[in-house]
Amino acid sequence: MSSSDLAVSIRGVGKAYTIRHDHIASTTLAEAIVRRVRNPFARAAREEFWALRGVSFDIRRGEVLGLIGGNGAGKSTLLKILSRITEMTEGEVDLYGRVGSLLEVGTGFNQELTGRENVFLNGAILGMRRAEIRQQFDAIVAFSGVDRFLDTPVKHYSSGMYVRLAFAVAAHLRSEILIVDEVLAVGDQDFQRKCLGKMRDVADGGRTVILVSHNMTAISSLCSSAVVLRSGRLAYAGDVGGAVKQYLTREATEMVGDLGSRRDRSGSGEVRAVSLAVRTAGGDLTRAVAPGEPFEIVVSYHARAALKDVAISIDIDLPDGTRLATLHSDFHGERFQMAAGSGAFSCAIAGLPLRPDTYVLNIALGGPHALYDFVERAMSFEMAPADVYGTGRLPQRNQGPLLADYRWRLTEPATILS
C-alpha cells in the first residue's frame, strides 16, 4: 500500500507498567524520604508488566477498524497511546491526521453548567476550536434532540438526554482519525441506530474510525477490518469475519476451567476464583448440558483470610456479551461465611431453556463493602443439541436463545370475544 493511503502506522509499540511490591511502595512523601535516607543505594523491588508489546499494524484511510480483545488484552492501553493520554515505552506511531478520541461519552461535562455551555466546554476538551463548535452548534443540537432544554443545567437532564447530548458533540468532531470506545452501548435503541449511522457516515466521508467493543454484532456490521489483541500481543489482523471467529474460538479454548493464571480480572483479591467447572446431576464433569437438564456449576476459590458475608454471582452471556441471566446469591438472600484457604461453591441449576449454542460465564465474588474478584468470560459451556419440541426443529440464532415451553392451537372466535 502506498503511504498516501495510510491513516495510522503502528510499529513495535509496547507499554510497560512498573508494579512496585507492597512492602516497598511509598504512598507518602515522608516514607519515600525516610527510605532514601536510610538506604540511599537500594533500588525498589519492581516488576515490569508489559500491558502491550511488539504490536505493529497499519490502518488505511477511510477504514473502520474493529479492535477486539478480552479484558486486559491491551485494548485500552493501545487506545490511550494513540490518543496521547499515556506514553508508550517503546515503538513508534505515525498519525496521518488529527486524532479525536472518545474513550468515554461526556468527558468533562459539568453538572452545574447548562446544555449549551457544556457543548462548548466538551467540544473544546475534545479538541475543537470555538469557531468550529459555533459553526456546528445547530447540527449538534438537532442530532441530540434536547433543544428545548439547552439552557437548563445538565444536572436536571435525564440520563438519556445527557448521553445523547454528549454523543452529539463527539459525533461532530472533525478529526480525520476517530477513536471510539464502547460508547455504542448507550441510549435507547433508536439513538443507538442513529449513532451507528453516524459512524458509517464518518467512514464514508473518508475519515478513519477505530472502534473498540465487546459487541461482536456491532463489530461485524460496522467494521471493514479488525485486529485481535491477546495478552498485550497482536493475535490477528485482517478481515472482520476471521477476527471475530479467532476471538471467539480462541477465547473458548482458553476458558477451560483454570482461572489461576488469569490477569484480566478486577477486584481487591481477598478471595479469588481459582477454577470453574460444569457437572452433570450425576457428578461427572462436562462441557455440554442438554436444555432443561439439571446441572451444577462448581467454583473453586482461594481466600487469603476468613471473610464474612460473601456473595457470589455467575452471569450467563451470549458470546457477543448479551446478558441472559444473573445467578446472584443475594437474590436468594444468601451470604456465606468463609474460612481462610481453599474451598468451593456449588450452584445447582434446575435447567436452562436455551438453544444449542456456546454460552459464556462470568464469575464475581463480593463482600459487604468490596468486590473481591471478577473474571469476565471465565469459562464457556455448550448447550447440547436436543430435540426439545419432538420435531427435530429448533429456533435459529437470530430467533433468540430462549427455548420457550409453548403450544399453539386453533380456537373458536367466540372464546376470545367472551
Residues 198-227 that bind other proteins (CB under 8 A): none
- Tell me: does residue 156 bind other proteins (CB under 8 A): no
- Alpha-carbon distance values, 205 to 119, 144, 201 (Å): 23, 21, 6
3-state secondary structure of 273: strand
* CA–CA gap between residue 7 and residue 290 (Å, rounded): 49
Strands 64-68 and 208-212: parallel
Q: Which of 64, 88, 237, 363 binds other proteins (CB under 8 A)?
A: 88
Binding window for other proteins (CB under 8 A); candidates: 119-127, 160-168, 206-214, 334-342: 119-127
- Alpha-carbon distance values, 43 to 21, 29, 36, 46, 371 (Å): 12, 17, 9, 8, 33
* CA–CA gap between residue 396 and residue 301 (Å, rounded): 37
- Tell me: does residue 138 bind other proteins (CB under 8 A): no
- Tell me: does residue 32 bind other proteins (CB under 8 A): yes
Cell 420457550: give the residue. 404
- Tell me: does residue 1 bind other proteins (CB under 8 A): no
Half-sphere exposure (Cβ direction) of 44: Cα atoms closer than 13 Å: 16
Choice between 77 and 362, CB closer to other proteins: 77
- Nearest-approach distance from CB 4 to other proteins, in angstroms: 5
Choice between 124 and 318, CB closer to other proteins: 124
Grid coordinates in use for 142?
438537532
CA 18 to chain centre: 24
- Tell me: does residue 83 bind other proteins (CB under 8 A): yes
The closest alpha carbon to 247, from 286, 274, 220, 211, belongs to 220
- Alpha-carbon distance values, 123 to 214, 233, 408 (Å): 27, 34, 56
Beta bridge partners of 383: 289
Choice between 213 and 362, CB closer to other proteins: 213
Binding window for other proteins (CB under 8 A); candidates: 66-74, 84-92, 322-330, 394-402: 84-92
Phi and psi of 170, rounded to 5°?
Answer: -65, -40
Binding window for other proteins (CB under 8 A); candidates: 128-136, 185-193, 209-217, 410-418: 128-136
- Tell me: does residue 371 bind other proteins (CB under 8 A): no
- Tell me: does residue 71 bind other proteins (CB under 8 A): no
3-state secondary structure of 91: strand
Residues 98-117 that bind other proteins (CB under 8 A): 98, 101, 103-104, 107-108, 110, 112-113, 117
- Nearest-approach distance from CB 79 to other proteins, in angstroms: 11
Total number of residues that touch other proteins (CB under 8 A): 48
- Tell me: does residue 185 bind other proteins (CB under 8 A): no
- Tell me: does residue 27 bind other proteins (CB under 8 A): yes
The contact set with other proteins (CB under 8 A) reads 2-4, 6, 9, 17, 27-30, 32, 80-98, 101, 103-104, 107-108, 110, 112-113, 117, 120-121, 124-130
